[in-house]
Amino acid sequence: MSAGTIGVALAAGHEELVLTIIINNEYRRHMISRVTSASRRARTASTTSAVVVAGVLVLASCASPAASDSGSGGPRIVATTTQVGDFTRELMGDDADVTQLLTPSQSAHGFDPSAAQLMALGEADALVVNGAGLESWLDDAVSSSGFDGVLIDASTGIELFGTDEHDEHDEHDADAHDDEAAAAETEDSHDEHADEHEHGAGNPHIWTDPELAEQMVENIARGLAEVPGIDTAALESNEEAYLAELDALDSWIEQNVSTVPVEQRLLVTNHDAFTYFVDAYDITFVGSVIPSFDDNAEPSAAEIDELVAKIRATGVRAVFSEASISPDAAETIAREAEVTVYSGDDALYGDALGTSGSDGETYLGSQIHNARLILESWGVEPSALPEVLQG
């Protein structure tokens, strides 16, 4: 599909109706006033706008839209992943329409937005992304949709780890978070970063560390404050309340993990998604079933044998599957190593949050779920949650 062209085929009985909606971005530049990322484009009545609306009506019947909180009448915001979608909803409450591209339990690796999602993106006032190179499909989506609103990169100012830096986690400095936060204050602002949202090369699963999640939320809130129509007072109040919950979560996990001797804090997961989590709490990452941060990769027989040997040599007690990945390989390795496997309802939430009603429905719920299971695998009964996280 060429940039700016969306084809939709509709079939009815024995007859096929093919409707091609052509949105020419060059033509739109002459028809619609475009603005920078710091301000929303003027919404003008034009022939192009009419075509886009008509396209949405047609596409809605043939492509399931992403999760959306609609009907507020406020600014229209699109969020890419389940995590940044949850952060955005916590910040906005009912003051904006939030469309989330990825569905629960859906990984961002290899995602391909639908025609209806591209239409929603083209009409959005703001786009919230994880950044850090996670959304490899993002540039094509932005180009094809004609999006020209405020781009908000949640990873701004966060230093990325490479996939070969796990050895450094064994020498984790308890003050690392404070150093990273201080360094982040010297980074460029959201505006300067917006055009280069895929900065650096490294592991993009930054949300697995609650303190980095706080920084993501702050980045999102700062970007949303630039969107016309946002109630900034309500935004600031919601941000303060949510940051307090994230801070309580971080403290609760740290207090519980600290009861376990460092040499016993061992972790094996389904894929390399917990780099920042193990760094935050001084955990030794023994290995992953899929030796990559891309959950589409497959382990070789030699890699499986190597991981089984590591598990036996280090005394790892459990192998954790992940909710968005098939547990087959993890179960095989756990069986060969003769250790416990956590799968099904006891799988960790890594790449994506869970479905409605699950422990991982929200970011906070997913992190509490993960921490409890990991602590239990070490023989620790987690303490009661702080009051701010109860209910």
Residue 22 has pLDDT above 50, yes or no: no
Asked if residue 10 has pLDDT above 50, the reply is no
Cα atoms in the Cβ-side hemisphere of radius 13 Å centred on 319: 27
User: What percent of the chain shows pLDDT beyond 90?
Assistant: 65
Residue 101 pLDDT: 98
Query: What would the 3-class secondary structure string for 169-202 be?
Result: HCCCCCCHHHHHHHHHCCCCCHHHHHHHCCCCCC
- Number of independent structural domains in the chain: 2
71: in domain: yes
Is residue 324 located within the same domain as residue 377? yes
> Which CATH number does the domain housing residue 183 bear?
3.40.50.1980
Domain limits for position 203:
64-247
Residues 6+ apart with CB under 8 A from 300: none
Encode pLDDT of 332-349 as tens digits: 999 999 999 999 999 999
pLDDT band at 196 (very low <50, low <70, confident <90, very high): very low
Instruction: Decide: helix, strand or coil at residue 21.
Output: strand
How many beta carbons lie within 10 A of that of residue 201, not counting itself? 11
Q: What is the pLDDT of residues 265-306, one digit of tens each?
A: 999 999 889 999 999 999 999 999 987 665 566 788 999 999
Q: What is the mean pLDDT of the chain?
A: 79
Residues 243 and 265 grouped into a single domain: no
Among 216, 247, 278, which residue terminates a domain? 247
Other Cβ atoms closer than 10 A to 112? 8
Question: Whose CA is closest to 203, among 274, 263, 262?
Answer: 274
Shared domain for 237 and 99, answered yes or no, is yes
Query: Where is the domain boundary, 222, 247, 272?
Result: 247
- Kindly list the distances between the CA atom of residue 153 and the CA atoms of 127, 176, 194, 360, in Å, as whole numbers in the listed order: 8, 23, 7, 23
Residue of 119 and 195 predicted with greater confidence: 119
* Claim to verify: residue 127 and residue 214 sit in the same structural domain: yes
Residue 149 sits in the same domain as residue 272: no
Q: Is residue 149 part of a domain?
A: yes
Contacts of 296 (CB under 8 A, 6+ apart): 107, 109, 110
Of 228, 247, 266, the position where a domain reaches its end is: 247
Q: Which two structure tokens, joined as six digits, stand for 389? A: 């996280």
Token look-up 């690392």 returns 176
Helices (H), the chain: 25-31, 47-59, 82-92, 115-122, 138-145, 166-169, 176-184, 190-193, 210-224, 232-257, 275-280, 301-314, 328-337, 363-377
Rounded-to-integer distance, Cα 240 and Cα 234, Å: 10
Instruction: State the pLDDT at residue 162.
Output: 79
For the stretch 239-253, pLDDT in tens is 999 999 999 999 999
On whether both 82 and 226 belong to a single domain, the answer is yes
Task: Looking at the structure, tell me whether residues 264 and 242 fall in a common domain.
Answer: no
Looking at residue 188, its pLDDT comes to: 41
Place of tokens 């001797």: 261
Q: What is the rounded distance in angstroms from the CA atom of residue 364 to the CA atom of residue 277?
A: 14
Quick one: 221 and 286 in the same domain?
no
Evaluate whether 124 touches 99 at the Cβ level (below 8 Å): yes
In this structure, the chain runs to a length of: 391
Which pLDDT band holds residue 323 (cuts at 50, 70, 90)?
very high
**Confidence category of residue 72, pLDDT binned at 50, 70, 90:** low
pLDDT band at 195 (very low <50, low <70, confident <90, very high): very low
20 forms bridges with which residues in the sheet? Answer: 7
Residue 29 lies in a domain: no
Query: pTM (2 decimals)?
Result: 0.76
- Distance in angstroms (rounded) separating the CA atoms of residues 123 and 146: 8
